[in-house]
Amino acid sequence: MQDLVRKLLAELGEDPDREGLARTPARVERALQFLTSGYKADIDEVLNNALFTVDYSEMVIVKDIDFYSLCEHHLLPFFGKCHVAYIPRTQVIGLSKIPRLVDVFARRLQIQERMTNQIAETIREKLNPLGVAVVCEGTHLCMSMRGVQKQNSFAVTSAMFGSFRENARTRMEFLELVKLKGSTLSAGSTEAMACMTE
What is the smallest separation between the CB atom of 4 and Zn ion, expressed in angstroms? 20
The answer to the question of residue 126 lying near Zn ion (CB under 5 A) is no
Nearer to Zn ion, 129 or 138 (CB): 138
DSSP code of 96? T
d(CA 24, CA 3): 11
The answer to the question of residue 71 lying near Zn ion (CB under 5 A) is yes
83: annotated active-site residue: no
Cβ–Cβ < 8 Å for 55, 122: no
Contacts with Zn ion in 140-179 (CB under 5 A)? 142
Residues 6+ positions from 148 with CB-CB distance below 8 Å:
198
Annotated active-site residue in 29, 73, 121, 191:
73
What is the smallest separation between the CB atom of 87 and Zn ion, expressed in angstroms? 34
In sequence order, the β-bridge partners of residue 89 are none
74: annotated active-site residue: yes
Cβ–Cβ < 8 Å for 43, 51: no
Residues 6+ positions from 73 with CB-CB distance below 8 Å:
111, 142, 195, 197
Annotated active-site residue in 82, 136, 142, 195:
142
Q: Could you tell me which stretch among 61-69, 70-78, 162-170, 183-191 binds Zn ion (CB under 5 A)?
A: 70-78
Name the site residues for Zn ion (rule: CB under 5 A). Answer: 71, 73-74, 142, 195
Residues marked active site are found at: 71-74, 112, 140, 142
